Amino acid sequence: MQDDNDYMRLALGEATTAAGAGEVPVGAVVVAADGAVIAAAHNAPVGSHDPTAHAEIRALREAAGKIGNYRLTGMTLFVTLEPCAMCAGAISHARLARLVYAADDPKGGAVAHGPRFFEQPTCHHRPVIEQGPFGDEAAAMLRDFFRARRKL
């Protein structure tokens, strides 16, 4: 069985794929309660012409399609960046048991920052939330990506 480090490494690999495609480097992995990886995805709004194509949304869609149910009860989402409000809403609706994210996002995050989505009384389901491993690596990948874009 793998551990949180292994799953977050998979998510970081997805983030690397996103960066290679010119997308913001964010990756996500959905893991079942038994440790099986159900889905993995990276950011793709630019290439897909879809503003909702965040890594989390894409991974949730893939996982739901594989199990034939939009409720991903008992599953964990590993993501390299603190989810935004849209993704936090989707996580709540998916009924994930756990959310593990690597890097904080003080500007656009909605879990530990901004609206703190899961703390709102209107939130229907709250997963266990943990700041996981490789936060420094994920943050560095994002900084490097945006630094390179500013030089263009």
**Catalytic residue list:** 56
What distance in Å separates the CA atoms of residue 39 and residue 64, rounded to the nearest whole number? 9
Q: Strand runs (DSSP E) across the chain, as ranges? A: 27-31, 37-42, 76-81, 98-103, 128-131
Is 84 known to sit in a ligand binding site? yes
**109/114 Cα distance (integer angstroms):** 6
- For residue 110, the one-letter residue type is A
DSSP 115: T
87 is in an annotated binding site: yes
Contact predicate 78/100, CB 8 Å: yes
Tell me which amino acid residue 85 is: A
* Known binding-site positions: 54, 84, 87
* Known binding-site positions for Zn(2+): 54, 84, 87
